[in-house]
Amino acid sequence: MRGLHRTDIEVIMADALKKNNIIFVEQFPIRGKYGYIADFYLPDSKTIIECDGEQWHDKKRDNKRDAVLRKLEYKIIRFTGTEIRTDIDTCLNKIRHELNFSGVL
């Protein structure tokens, strides 16, 4: 990670991904004119995981961003801070489902 501040939910997600041997890149820059940075990128499946802290996210802006990323052929999985803090296992099950669907697992 390039010296950026990690939120508590990003720390929880990174620890869970590591413990489950899921390969990821943290704070992954999306090249091009967009200037987006994905919280986590799973290169084997071209999947982006976003950890949405309740106070930092604008749903309308996030939907626009997701539409752009989908056009670039990324898959996006979003989790709220509450989901991550209270039920990381369910979050991991959703991630595993996507990886299975992509033929990675």
- CA-based angle 77:7:27, to the nearest 5? 55
* pLDDT tens-digit readout, 40-98: 999 999 999 999 987 767 788 889 999 999 999 999 999 999 999 999 999 999 999 98
DSSP 5: P
pLDDT in the model for residue 27: 94
Give CATH for domain 8-96.
3.40.960.10
1: confidence class by pLDDT, cuts 50, 70, 90: very low
Read off the pTM: 0.88
* pLDDT tens-digit readout, 10-38: 999 999 999 999 999 999 999 777 789 99
- The CA distance from 76 to 74, in Å, is 6
Q: Are 70 and 19 in contact (CB under 8 A)?
A: no
Structure tokens at 6: 């990690």
**Domain range list for the chain:** 8-96
Q: Are 80 and 54 in contact (CB under 8 A)?
A: yes
Beta strand 75-80 with 47-52 is: parallel
Q: Is the pLDDT of residue 3 over 60?
A: no
